[in-house]
């Protein structure tokens, strides 16, 4: 099987974590032979240094943008000319190229279709690429039933070829120092790339209302600036309690684990999600979560998090305030969150992927 691991050549986002975990678990299986490739020009020559042991590498430079433009309009050139022939080609990040092999593509969400104003220039090609892949007979993996239903509805996809397999939860290493990074022991935490879909300006507004009656609480935002970060900058500048809002930028895995472990509340006010891995990881770490009823978050978080309406700063402030002030509610939610998170396991995810790969191969033989 060939797998596109372009996502491993940059600091890992949610897609990168997903691909890394599934490939690591598959690489130790005797019934799966993996070959990694990357559709990149700037990252050429680096793939072998980031793939797990047991994964073969084909590291031939490919220019991503020109190829994506070709693949969204035509079924050539085939990826086989660069990587050779395989039984299955899997694209873990919306794109599976034309191939003579069976094909599987992972669709994490339909942001670019449902909310094009929340998508940047590179991702707007994803719907066309998905349509081309489906027309060629590709199977689709989604991380939730919610996204599976969206794919079937939006693309008139064959339900028998759209499979929902949830992510697992990466257990973070034990780490201390979150309060030191935050500048205080009591803080609301948001983690992730700053982009419009995360609706961090609404979180700032909710925190500003909350902070008026709680002089000790801080808001900490950890994550690199993506596109549209100017809206967050403006929201912070307008906040009356901006002196207690801390923007850390990108943090490493140890710093992230420490911040999550010591946070009073993990806030995830997203406008739309196909899964919501950061919220689930916080629940696994024993940190109570307040999030929105956006996309798949209700399905994934269940009763392990407090859920509020999308874009409602008042409801978000009230939920955060309850979490900070009601010890019994907080303790109950921490317990429920751990229980829900325990149902998500990367080994189980990889096992189900191995089964799907066999189905995909069988479907074209």
How many Cβ atoms from other residues are within 10 Å of residue 320's Cβ?
Answer: 27
Residues 25 and 75 in one domain: yes
Q: Is residue 272 domain-shared with residue 354, that is, in the same domain?
A: no
* Each residue's pLDDT tens digit, 58-89: 999 999 889 999 999 999 999 999 999 999 99
**How many domains does the structure of the chain reveal?**
2
281 near 268, Cβ under 8 Å? Answer: no
Range of the domain at 143: 2-166+345-363
Q: Is residue 29 part of a domain?
A: yes
Angstrom distance (rounded) from CA 313 to CA 310? 9
Please check whether residue 172 lies inside any domain of the structure: no
pLDDT in tens, 299-349: 999 999 999 999 999 999 999 999 999 999 999 999 999 999 999 999 999
Separation CA 230–CA 217 (nearest Å): 24
When pLDDT is averaged across residues 153-177 and rounded to a whole number, the result is: 91
In the predicted structure, residue 167 carries a pLDDT above the cut 90? yes
Residues 97 and 183 in one domain: no
Average confidence score pLDDT of the chain: 94
95-151 tens-digit pLDDT: 999 999 999 999 999 999 998 888 777 788 899 999 999 999 999 999 999 999 999
Residues 59 and 138 in one domain: yes
Same domain for 281 and 195: yes
pLDDT at 116: 86
Does residue 325 share a domain with residue 258? Answer: yes
- 140 plus 192 within the same structural domain: no
Start-to-end C-alpha separation, the chain: 15
Asked whether residue 72 is assigned to any structural domain, the reply reads: yes
Same domain assignment for residues 115 and 75: yes
Which run of H or of E encompasses 46? Answer: none
Band of pLDDT at residue 364, cut at 50, 70 and 90: confident
Tell me how far the alpha carbon of residue 37 is from its chain's centroid.
21
In a domain, 173, yes or no: no
Q: Are residue 154 and residue 296 in the same domain, yes or no?
A: no
Q: Kindly state the tokens that stand for 151.
A: 């794919």
Q: Of all residues in the chain, what percent carry a pLDDT higher than 70?
A: 99
In this structure, the answer to whether residues 58 and 126 fall within a common structural domain is yes
Residues 14, 49 within the same domain? yes
Lowest mean pLDDT among 111-120, 183-192, 205-214: 111-120
Q: What is the DSSP string of 101-159?
A: SEEEEE----HHHH-GGG--TTGGGHHHHHHHHHHTT-EEEESSHHHHHHHHHHHT--G
Count Cα atoms within 13 angstroms, Cβ side, for 198: 26
The pLDDT score that the predictor gives to residue 125 is 87
Instruction: Specify the pLDDT at position 365.
Output: 59
Pairwise CA distance, residues 251 & 237, whole Å: 22
pLDDT, average across residues 1-6: 96
At residue 90, the pLDDT reads: 98
> In CATH, what number is assigned to the domain containing residue 218?
3.40.50.2000
Rounded CA-CA distance 72/312 in Å is 37
CB contact at 8 A, 38 and 59: yes
Q: In degrees rounded to 5, what are phi and psi of residue 132?
A: -60, -45
């Amino acid at each position: 099987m060939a797998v596109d691991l372009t996502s491993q050549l940059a600091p890992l986002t949610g897609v990168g974590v997903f691909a890394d975990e599934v490939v690591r678990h598959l690489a130790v299986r005797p019934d799966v032979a993996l070959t990694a490739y990357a559709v990149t020009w700037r990252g050429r020559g680096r793939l072998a240094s980031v793939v797990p042991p047991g994964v073969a590498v084909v590291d031939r430079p490919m220019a991503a943008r020109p190829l994506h433009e070709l693949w969204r309009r035509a079924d050539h050139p085939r990826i086989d000319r660069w990587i050779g022939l395989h039984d299955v080609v899997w694209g873990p990040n919306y794109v599976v190229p034309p191939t003579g092999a069976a094909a599987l593509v992972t669709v994490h969400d339909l942001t670019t279709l449902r909310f094009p104003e929340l998508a940047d220039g590179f991702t707007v090609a994803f719907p066309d690429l998905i349509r081309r892949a489906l027309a060629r007979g590709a199977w689709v993996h989604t991380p939730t039933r919610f996204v599976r239903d969206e794919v079937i509805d939006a693309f008139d996809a064959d339900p028998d070829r759209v499979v929902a397999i949830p992510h697992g939860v990466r257990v973070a290493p034990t780490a201390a120092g979150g309060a030191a990074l935050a500048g205080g022991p009591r803080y609301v935490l948001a983690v992730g790339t700053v982009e419009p879909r995360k609706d961090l300006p609404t979180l700032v507004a909710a925190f500003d209302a909350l902070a008026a009656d709680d002089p000790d609480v801080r808001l900490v935002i950890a994550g690199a600036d993506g596109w549209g970060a100017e809206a967050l900058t403006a929201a912070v500048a307008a906040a009356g309690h901006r002196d207690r809002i801390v923007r850390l930028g990108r943090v490493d895995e140890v710093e992230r684990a420490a911040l999550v472990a010591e946070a009073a509340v993990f806030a995830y006010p997203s406008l739309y999600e196909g899964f919501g891995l950061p919220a689930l990881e916080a629940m696994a770490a024993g940190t109570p979560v307040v999030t929105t009823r956006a996309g798949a978050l209700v399905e994934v978080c269940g009763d392990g998090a407090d859920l509020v309406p999308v874009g409602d700063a008042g409801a978000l402030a009230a939920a955060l305030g309850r979490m900070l002030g009601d010890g019994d509610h907080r303790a109950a939610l921490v317990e429920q969150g751990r229980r829900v998170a325990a149902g998500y396991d990367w080994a189980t995810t990889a096992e189900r992927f191995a089964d799907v790969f066999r189905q995909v191969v069988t479907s074209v033989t």
